[in-house]
Amino acid sequence: PQPEPSIIPITGITAIFNNIFYGWENISSRLFLMIMLAFMTINSFVNGMTTVLINPLILSFSTATTYGSIMSIAGCGMLAGSIFMSIWGGGKKSISPLFIFSALNGIALIITGVKPSIPLITLGISISFFTLPIVLSTNATIWQSSVHPNVQGRVLGLFYTITGLGAALGTLSASPLADTILGPMMDFDGILAHSVGKFIATGHGRGIGLLMIMEGIVMLFVSIVLLTYFYSRHINEELLTYDLKIDSIKIQ
């Protein structure tokens, strides 16, 4: 869309803060958008962690050559997800696919961390990468359908800033959590060795595996809860379109 030029100045520090506050007002005025912002921030946090953990998880028991092969296969999974989304188009509704494929991503992360097994990790990472283009594109569709074109730049700018901070926080916290806290717990004589360790093994790298499982459980739980909530409230694309008409009246 090509909206009318904004009356808010586009230069200077005052304009920056005006745009931030204006974008926040548009998001915070609607519970639906606040929920979507929180959900995608959690999603970005988990993906930031996953990006950091994949390499040491595989190299903790395998070789760099194997790591390269796994990532090549996982890259094919992401390509397949992009092609699938291009052909499918997301269907008539974007909310359900967003949470369904986010839940699938959670399951994939659980598979990735459950055992130090090349086939399982390859399967888990490939499925996780497959879901990413679908989740990101359906999320973009929801925001572009729910926010008036005149304020999309400010709203989406703030959205990507907050979710980007979530990804950065996930990236920064992954190593301390895996190495300092969970790693010693999952060592051969760690406090979780005779409980959780019986199911996911113990030793080098299993703290990373446990963290991947925890990420997957969080992603799966949040996705199912929000899918159930939106389904019970009958929030669908028709409601979003109606809200868009209401918002257009409020735009100055």
Max intra-chain CA distance, the chain: 65
Q: Which two tokens stand for residue 203?
A: 């030793």
CA distance 210 to 60: 14
State the pLDDT at residue 89: 83
CA distance 159 to 23: 9
> What value does the mean pLDDT take over residues 173-185?
94
Per-state percent for the chain, helix, strand, coil, to nearest 5: 80, 0, 20
Classify residue 30 as left (phi > 0), alpha (psi -120 to 50) or beta. Answer: beta
* Exposure class string for 130-152: b at 16+ Cβ within 10 A, else e: bbbbbbbbbbebbbeebbbebbb
CB 121 within 8 A of CB 70: yes
9-18, 41-50, 60-69, 199-208: lowest mean pLDDT where?
A: 9-18
CA distance 161 to 157: 6
State the pLDDT at residue 246: 41
Model confidence pLDDT, tens digit, residues 120-144: 999 999 999 999 999 999 999 899 8
Q: How confident is the model at residue 7 (pLDDT cuts 50, 70, 90)?
A: low
Q: Is pLDDT above 60 for 8?
A: no
CB 124 within 8 A of CB 108: yes
Q: Is pLDDT above 50 for 245?
A: no
CB 58 within 8 A of CB 181: no
Q: How confident is the model at residue 165 (pLDDT cuts 50, 70, 90)?
A: very high
- Please tell me which residue, 59 or 7, carries the higher pLDDT value: 59
CA distance 13 to 5: 19
Model confidence pLDDT, tens digit, residues 197-214: 999 999 999 999 999 999
21-35, 43-57, 225-239: lowest mean pLDDT where?
A: 225-239
